[in-house]
């Protein structure tokens, strides 16, 4: 069953979307916006614990191969995938999870403003919401490779990889996947007409938040 775009847009009218790349500032800026304006903040995995109970191999085969869903996870196999295959799995899993995330957002945004930190594709976002309800926060590939495993919650990924066979090769495989996926995303982004803000060494939370507020119509 397909739901018409105008119906989805109506039910998501109270949602401010933060999308983009890893290390682009989505979590930091979205939380700052929500706190300043008294909006509800949620991350893109909203309801993930519930997903684990209802996801199955017939309807969500890619999700069931991901950490947190696959109960007998073979970490050697997971991190040993060729980087293009690794990226393809992440994309497929994200696609399967999106209907669950959108349904949860519709429920949460029924009577309140919601700020969501998520990983929705550019084309999809243009069909789900208006121009001034989504912003893409991005950074360059070198920064992602440098900072990805230093982010909160990601140190455990590094620690896990270091327990596996040939950990340096598996780390490089992860970095290749990040480079590959980020370059694909940025190529598409630069050809689009959505608003994006690039994080660099001169970026500050205050300046980025102000840009986002103006874009969302929350600041003159």
Convert the pLDDT of each residue in 91-133 to its tens digit: 999 999 998 899 999 999 999 999 999 999 999 999 999 999 9
Overall number of domains in the chain:
1
Structure-token pair, residue 219: 């600041």
Torsion of Cα atoms, 10 then 194 then 113 then 139, to 10°: 150
Helix axes 167-190, 83-108, angle to 10 degrees: 60
Q: Residue 25: what pLDDT? A: 94
Question: If you average pLDDT over residues 71-97, what whole number do you get?
Answer: 92
Q: Residue 150: what pLDDT? A: 87
Contact 104, 46 (CB under 8 A): yes
Q: Shortest CA distance to 45 belongs to which of 89, 85, 105, 2? A: 105
Distance CA 175, CA 50 (A): 30
Choice between 37 and 70, residue whose per-residue pLDDT is larger:
37
Residue keyed to tokens 């001034």: 132
Question: If you average pLDDT over residues 40-60, what whole number do you get?
Answer: 83
pLDDT band at 146 (very low <50, low <70, confident <90, very high): very high
Coil, strand or helix: which one is 196?
Answer: strand
Contact 106, 12 (CB under 8 A): yes
Distance CA 135, CA 18 (A): 5
Per the prediction, the chain carries an average pLDDT of 92
Coil, strand or helix: which one is 126?
Answer: helix
CATH no. for residue 169? 3.40.50.300
The DSSP-derived string for 3-52 is: PPHHHHHHHTTTEEEEEE-TTSSHHHHHHHHHHHHTPEEEETTTTHHHHH
The whole domain housing 121 covers 5-216
**pTM greater than the 0.85 cutoff:** yes
pLDDT band at 47 (very low <50, low <70, confident <90, very high): low
């Amino acid at each position: 069953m397909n739901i018409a775009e105008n119906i989805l847009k109506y039910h998501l009218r109270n949602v401010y979307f933060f999308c983009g790349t890893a290390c682009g500032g989505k979590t930091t800026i979205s939380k700052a916006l929500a706190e300043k304006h008294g909006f509800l903040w949620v991350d893109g995995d909203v309801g993930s614990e519930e997903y684990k109970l209802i996801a199955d191999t017939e309807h969500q085969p890619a999700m069931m191969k991901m950490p947190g869903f696959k109960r007998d996870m073979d970490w050697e196999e997971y991190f040993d995938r060729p980087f293009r295959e690794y990226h393809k799995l992440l994309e497929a899993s994200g696609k399967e999870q999106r209907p669950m995330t959108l349904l949860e957002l519709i429920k949460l945004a029924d009577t309140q403003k919601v700020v969501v930190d998520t990983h929705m594709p550019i084309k999809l976002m243009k069909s789900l919401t208006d121009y001034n309800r989504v912003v893409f926060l991005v950074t360059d590939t070198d920064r992602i490779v440098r900072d990805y495993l230093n982010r909160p919650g990601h140190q455990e990924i590094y620690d896990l990889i270091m327990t596996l066979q040939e950990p340096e090769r598996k780390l490089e495989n992860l970095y290749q996947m990040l480079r590959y996926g980020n370059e694909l995303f940025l190529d598409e982004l630069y050809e689009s007409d959505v608003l994006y803000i690039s994080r660099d060494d001169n970026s500050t939370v205050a300046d980025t938040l102000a840009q986002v507020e103006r874009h969302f119509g929350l600041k003159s």
